[in-house]
Amino acid sequence: MNERRRSLLGMALLGAVEPLFAAPLSPAARPGISTGARQALDTELAAIANDPAMQLASLSVLAIRAGQPVYQQAFGRRYIGKESGSALPDRPATPDTLYRIASISKMVTTLGLMRLVEQGRADLDADVSGYLGYSVRNPHFPLRPVTLRTLLTHTSSLRDDAGYSWQLPVSLRDVLVPGGALYGEGKMWSDRAGPGEYFTYCNLAWGVIGTVMERIAGERFDLLMDRLLFQPLGIQAGYSPAGLPPAARDNLATLYRKRTVDTEIWNAAGPWIPQVDDYSAKPPVLPAGTATATPGSNATPFSPTGGLRISAPAMGVVMRMLMNGGVHGNTRLLQRATLDRMFARQWTHDGRNGNGDTLNGLYQAWGLGNQHFPDRPGMGLVEGGGFEAVGHLGEAYGLRSVFALDAARGNGLVMLTGGSAADPELQQGRHSALARYEERILGALHRHAIVINIGQQAAT
């Protein structure tokens, strides 16, 4: 979720969870969406994107019903010219526009890690010290190992208080180990809860995961993810904008807010201010020091926690691979049992904040690198319920994003927003911890593209 935002594992639930990924429906059983429903959805989403109370710089959405993409559309501008003080012309958002999707990146990173687990190169319950080559211990709880499982479930006892990204040639050893050059007061470690005890959302955990992956594979994180996931899926996506093909870079959305960079001063009547991925003046470059860095020292410059650039349709490819039990086309990327393991419930909030911090209700349940959205009041993604989902949320630099998969029915929703003109915190949701405009977008997609049946569509 928000890269600046922020127990005991529910291990008893492992093995008690039914397989999440049912067999895909036959083509004959896959419904579409009528022209009338499509037009109604276009109109409703355009109105949300252009709402004067919460105008969006851009919006890209995708809906999958019974395993079949039934709707994709984009609104607004991926690049804003005159209104942001640029002499360049506006560029419209298209369905193929790529976005920096923020913390949904964590779930995608986890898919790459699970491929290494399947290959026997990583063990979820092994001490990560053995992978990194130095002792990784919370000094307040030195006898408890930090494992990939605790990192993936935000129960590692790591915290973001000392930061979660450092440029090369910094090594994470200098950050995590007492006496290291960047260890400071040790604020990256909780002094109240040890590994496995308490859920606190932590971006730094994914910097450690990405670095472990580099160390295991001997390969730079962005290149590793391309080899493990994006190339087999046949999609244009990457954790480094400099590594994207020219056409994909040209279709990359600049993220905006009507808020000054790195402050909380909003002016909805003012100009759109670029926050990240504005390459109108010069193209992106690899992080400084990349050429001489050793993989396995520090993966945070490529942001395993939030730096993935990808389009909504490409996210749909990932989603359909999950729906198909790990198979894309004729290629099996992951075993169905691995996905069941990854998306099985690992942690559930106890309702008292005794085993974790929900961040005002945002986090209620968790798998391995993925969030769960129980179909219960105050926890679901759509008003009125009916959409039990797993996936992830994202928020950074103005963007808010959703990847939500109702795996049992083969339904899914993807939402990418390129920034808002007003502070989303001023427009709280009515039935969830999301902003109201997020609720409205997801609700419209669900009503028009998921819930509506073929007979209703024909009558539209």
Burial code (b: 16+ CB inside 10 Å, e: under 16) for 74-109 equals bbbbbbbeeebebeeeebebeebbbbbbbbbbbbbb
178, burial (CB in 10 Å: exposed 0-12, middle 13-18, buried 19+): exposed
Name the pLDDT band for 30 (thresholds 50, 70, 90). Answer: very low
Mean pLDDT, rounded, of the chain = 92
What single DSSP character describes residue 91? E
Question: Strand 389-396 relative to strand 399-406: parallel, antiparallel, unpaired?
Answer: antiparallel
- In this prediction, residues 367-390 reach a mean pLDDT of 92
* DSSP string for residues in 41-92: HHHHHHHHHT-TTS-BSEEEEEEEETTEEEEEEEEEEEE--GGGT-SSPPEE
Torsion sign, CA atoms 416, 421, 424, 430: negative
Structure tokens that stand for 174 in this block: 């200098």
* CATH number of the domain located at residue range(s) 11-102+238-277+304-459 in this protein: 3.40.710
Question: pTM of the predicted model, to two decimals?
Answer: 0.92
pLDDT for the residue 31: 57
Helices 204-217 & 104-118 angle (0-180, nearest 10): 30
- In this prediction, residues 173-202 reach a mean pLDDT of 97
Name the pLDDT band for 70 (thresholds 50, 70, 90). Answer: very high
Q: Which residues pair with 256 in a beta bridge?
A: 274
Name the pLDDT band for 404 (thresholds 50, 70, 90). Answer: very high
- In this prediction, residues 53-82 reach a mean pLDDT of 97
* CA-based nearest residue to 349, from 202, 193, 155: 155
